[in-house]
Amino acid sequence: MCGIIAGIKKGNIVQDLIGCLKKLEYRGYDSAGLACFENNRIERYRSVGRVSELEKIVDTKYSNIGIAHTRWATHGKVNELNAHPHLSIKDGFSVCVIHNGIIENYKELKATLIKYGYSFESQTDSEVLAHLLHLERKKFSSLKEALNSVRKKLIGAYALVAICDKDPNTISGTKSSSSLVLGIDRGSHQYFLSSDPNSLSGISTHIVFIEELELICLNGSEFTIYDENLNKINRDLTKLDFASDKISRGEYASFMQKEIHEQPNAIAMTLENFFDENSLTPILFGNDAPKIFEEVEQIIIIACGTSYHAGLVAKYWIEELAKVHVSVEIASEFRYRKSVLKNKTLMIGISQSGETADTLAALKLARKLGLEWIFGICNVQESTLIRICNLSFITRAGLEIGVASTKAFTTQLASLFVFALTLAKTKNHINTQNERNFLKQLRHLPNAVASILNGEMSVKNWIKYFESKQNVLFLGRGIHYPIAMEGALKLKEISYIHAEAYAAGELKHGPLALIDESMPIIAIAPNDDLVNKLKNNLEEVKARGGRLFIIADQGFELREDSCTKIITLGDHAGFLSPILHVIPLQLLAYHVANSKGNDVDKPRNLAKSVTVE
Ligand code: G6P
């Protein structure tokens, strides 16, 4: 999604801004732009497509103050006019803005601004911000005051950063429901504002998260944060511990491939604190966790995309092990539903980024409706999600760049399994022997994942059966039904092949009508209690000429033939089986998309972090 970077330093900042835009690329975007001061005038450069196109245009520019942006289209087509920064030039001075989010009342504001003589060149909601700020700058004596006045007129979500040629050494920013972070390197006298702390690696030693409705001003080599009444506030600096070299593909062809192969290590890191006996203690989820785990009677899991699938798997674990009822809901649905929330409900928000707008809104709504217990599972310690939750668990997958989530998913699953075990232990539903056995299985999990990754070649052998297909059906049962859903999501988002997942028992209620020799069916077939039921479903497919591709465990009884291909993993892994069965599906989606020549890390139209509705 859209990315913001702005900065001020003693030397030339233009290349720093381009470098940061490149670090924001992983979030997904379709155009980019930059504005900077040249001879006290604001100059603006924009281009459609990759940041490298913009880089060519600004290659020789020199400035010590600039703002830059990657745009992911929401209002208006992908073209140069709609790209940020947006500029307002009138009455002898200019204002230039970059914006993340959506201004819901932009039509009303636009109508007013037109009456004041402003003309619009783009179809975006963001352009109103440039003209409105210009109008307010005429009324107020500083950019900061003008921005504060603009803020009060906005409805919607925004992180907004601006420059004005009446205030030549200044950058001002503010935010509401969209992330904005200050990066500081005092030694090098450089200050940045970004929508994503990851982009600040290598150029900042410390960061400060700008809170709701606060205003930040960078001025020369100083920064000042103001509250909504423009009183100065002091904020603690947080040390930034990203190493700049972390954002590299290394020996891999893409970030997604690298991230798939990082899973054994990512899972091991995430579980590091749980490998010892007696390590299942609620306190690892927060100081209030022991009380909450004892008292909780119901759980609601809220998430989007792949994180939602992790929640669906967790429902099976939590209900079976801890005997607590769980409902799992897509955040964008929950936030607009009139739900009934009972006391003693724990709400769990799962999010890789911790910045997904719908997930945050759903959790905030739950809080507003009186829920006190909110638990966040997230891959980013500094995220908004973690800051609004009272219990938390950080997956330690490391930075995930590929839009299609892989290592974040399996580390979420590992964390959710640990949560289910800890809850079960607190509620006396597992004994010491069970606990030891589960911890032993967890210790083995990274190796088990690694050994499936070693079988990558057998997945590659399937590419030819899929690359020319238009449709693929995924089947699973029980806890592997959400894994089938995740497999279908992976395939559709990066290979652009239409893929759907069904609970295999539902086959005869509709999708069986689609089966013929042109329809590949991928079945997730672990050797669990439901395997014989699943086999019956697969026989129904075979009888109708369907082509079966089965991810099985040792001991699976169907044999390969001209219409049936089987990849056999190891022995059935019990509760942890979903974490293993998803690996071949990730690999398959990756290799099919790659062989089609698609950009697997940045699939068309998608964004890594969906920070608007
Ligand atoms: C986007 C990403 C997905 C991700 C989903 C939820 O759609 O492309 O990979 O699963 O957002 O993101 P979150 O950061 O909340 O897990």
**Which of 448, 469, 484 is the endpoint of a domain?**
448
Query: Residue 339: exposed, middle, or buried by beta-carbon count in 10 A (0-12, 13-18, 19+)?
Result: middle
3-state class percentages of the chain: helix first, strand second, coil last, to nearest 5: 40, 25, 35
The answer to whether residues 196 and 302 belong to one domain is no
124 within domain boundaries: yes
Neighbours of 116 (CB within 10 A): 12
Q: What is the mean pLDDT of residues 231-260?
A: 80
The answer to whether residues 404 and 299 belong to one domain is yes
> What is the C-alpha to C-alpha distance for residues 237 and 264, in angstroms, rounded to an integer?
33
The pLDDT of residue 242 is above 70: no
The pLDDT of residue 495 is above 80: yes
The answer to whether residues 427 and 461 belong to one domain is no
Top mutation candidate among 312, 328, 352 for ligand 1, by most atoms within 8 Å of CB: 352
Cis peptide before 85 (omega within 30 of 0): yes
The answer to whether residues 474 and 364 belong to one domain is no
Residues taking part in catalysis: 2, 608
Question: Which pLDDT band, with edges at 50, 70 and 90, does 550 fall under?
Answer: very high
Domain count, the chain: 3
DSSP state of 430: S
The pLDDT of residue 245 is above 60: no
What sign does the dihedral 134-140-141-147 (CA atoms) show?
negative
Sequence-distant (≥ 6) Cβ neighbours of residue 375 within 8 angstroms:
285, 286, 346, 347, 348, 349, 389, 390, 391, 392, 393
The pLDDT of residue 561 is above 60: yes
Q: Report pLDDT for 239.
A: 84
The pLDDT of residue 492 is above 80: yes
**Furthest-apart CA atoms within the chain: distance in Å:** 80
> What is the C-alpha to C-alpha distance for residues 516 and 543, in angstroms, rounded to an integer?
10
Identify the residue whose C-alpha is closest to ligand 1 atom 3: 305
Sequence-distant (≥ 6) Cβ neighbours of residue 273 within 8 angstroms:
279, 284
Q: What is the mean pLDDT of residues 251-279?
A: 87
CATH classification of the domain holding 206:
3.60.20.10
Q: Report pLDDT for 80.
A: 95
* Helix 143-153 × helix 127-139 angle, to 10°: 120
Residue 516 Cα to ligand 1 midpoint, Å, equals 33
The answer to whether residues 373 and 305 belong to one domain is yes
> What is the C-alpha to C-alpha distance for residues 171 and 549, in angstroms, rounded to an integer?
56
Q: What is the mean pLDDT of residues 424-447?
A: 93
pLDDT for 79-112, tens place per residue?
999 999 999 999 999 999 999 988 989 999 999 9
Domain enclosing residue 284, as ranges: 255-448
Query: Residue 501: exposed, middle, or buried by beta-carbon count in 10 A (0-12, 13-18, 19+)?
Result: buried
> What is the C-alpha to C-alpha distance for residues 418 and 77, in angstroms, rounded to an integer?
45
The answer to whether residues 232 and 130 belong to one domain is yes
The answer to whether residues 380 and 327 belong to one domain is yes
Contact 174, 132 (CB under 8 A): no
In Å, what is the CA distance from 155 to each residue of 87, 106, 150, 172?
21, 8, 11, 19
Residue with the two structure tokens 């947080």? 238
What residue ranges line ligand 1, CB within 6 angstroms? 304-307, 351-353, 356, 359, 403-405, 606, 608-610
pLDDT for 332-350, tens place per residue?
999 999 988 889 999 999 9
607 within domain boundaries: no
CATH classification of the domain holding 367:
3.40.50.10490
The answer to whether residues 407 and 487 belong to one domain is no
Neighbours of 164 (CB within 10 A): 24
The pLDDT of residue 243 is above 60: no
Top mutation candidate among 304, 416, 605 for ligand 1, by most atoms within 8 Å of CB: 304
Question: Which pLDDT band, with edges at 50, 70 and 90, does 212 fall under?
Answer: confident
- Torsion over CA of 499, 500, 505 and 509, rounded to 10 degrees? -110
> What is the C-alpha to C-alpha distance for residues 220 and 237, in angstroms, rounded to an integer?
19
**Which of 246, 266, 286 is the endpoint of a domain?**
246
β-pairing verdict for 298-303 and 325-330: parallel
Q: Which two tokens stand for residue 483?
A: 């894994």
> What is the C-alpha to C-alpha distance for residues 384 and 550, in angstroms, rounded to an integer?
40
51 within domain boundaries: yes
> What is the C-alpha to C-alpha distance for residues 6 and 193, in angstroms, rounded to an integer?
5
Contact 304, 610 (CB under 8 A): yes
Identify the residue whose C-alpha is closest to ligand 1 atom 4: 305
The amino acid present at 235, given as its one-letter code, is: R
Residue 88 Cα to ligand 1 midpoint, Å, equals 34
Report angle CA 200, 151, 390 to the nearest 5 degrees. 60
Top mutation candidate among 359, 405, 586, 604 for ligand 1, by most atoms within 8 Å of CB: 405
> What is the C-alpha to C-alpha distance for residues 176 and 452, in angstroms, rounded to an integer?
44
- 245 conformational bin, left if phi > 0, alpha if psi -120 to 50, beta if neither: alpha
The answer to whether residues 425 and 500 belong to one domain is no
% the chain with pLDDT above 90: 75
The answer to whether residues 475 and 432 belong to one domain is no
Beta bridge partners of 95: 88, 164
Which atom of ligand 1 has the smallest separation from the CA of 359? 15
Mean pLDDT over all residues of the chain?
93
pLDDT for 417-435, tens place per residue?
999 999 999 999 999 999 9
What sign does the dihedral 22-353-281-482 (CA atoms) show?
negative
Residue 304 Cα to ligand 1 midpoint, Å, equals 6
Identify the residue whose C-alpha is closest to ligand 1 atom 15: 351
Residue of 561, 552, 549, 486 whose CA lies nearest to 521: 549
In Å, what is the CA distance from 585 to each residue of 257, 456, 478?
13, 11, 17
Q: Report pLDDT for 438.
A: 94
The answer to whether residues 474 and 527 belong to one domain is yes
Q: What are the DSSP E strand ranges found in 200-305? A: 206-209, 215-219, 222-226, 232-233, 238-239, 298-303
346 vs 157, more confident: 346
Which atom of ligand 1 has the smallest separation from the CA of 403? 8
Residue 311 Cα to ligand 1 midpoint, Å, equals 13
388 within domain boundaries: yes
| Statement: the pTM of the whole predicted model exceeds 0.85 | no
Residue 42 Cα to ligand 1 midpoint, Å, equals 36
Give pairs for 484-489: CB < 8 Å, separation 24+.
484/522, 484/524, 485/309, 485/312, 486/306, 486/309, 486/409, 486/582, 486/585, 487/522, 487/524, 487/582, 487/585, 487/588, 487/589, 489/305, 489/306, 489/309
Residue of 33, 109, 40 whose CA lies nearest to 72: 33
Q: What is the mean pLDDT of residues 529-557?
A: 89
Q: Report pLDDT for 154.
A: 94
- 191 conformational bin, left if phi > 0, alpha if psi -120 to 50, beta if neither: beta
Residue of 470, 468, 417 whose CA lies nearest to 445: 417
Q: Report pLDDT for 330.
A: 97
Residue 589 Cα to ligand 1 midpoint, Å, equals 17
Question: Which pLDDT band, with edges at 50, 70 and 90, does 186 fall under?
Answer: confident
Q: Which two tokens stand for residue 359?
A: 């997930």
Q: What is the mean pLDDT of residues 521-536?
A: 92
606 within domain boundaries: no
The amino acid present at 15, given as its one-letter code, is: Q
Residue with the two structure tokens 């904005």? 180
Top mutation candidate among 395, 610, 611 for ligand 1, by most atoms within 8 Å of CB: 610
Which atom of ligand 1 has the smallest separation from the CA of 606? 8
427 within domain boundaries: yes
The answer to whether residues 174 and 237 belong to one domain is yes
The pLDDT of residue 277 is above 70: no
Question: Which pLDDT band, with edges at 50, 70 and 90, does 375 fall under?
Answer: very high
The pLDDT of residue 244 is above 50: no
Residue 396 Cα to ligand 1 midpoint, Å, equals 16
Q: Which of 141-150, 404-413, 430-439 has the lowest mean pLDDT?
A: 430-439
Question: Which pLDDT band, with edges at 50, 70 and 90, does 246 fall under?
Answer: low
612 within domain boundaries: no
Supply φ then ψ for residue 540, to 5 degrees: -60, -35
Identify the residue whose C-alpha is closest to ligand 1 atom 2: 608
603 within domain boundaries: no
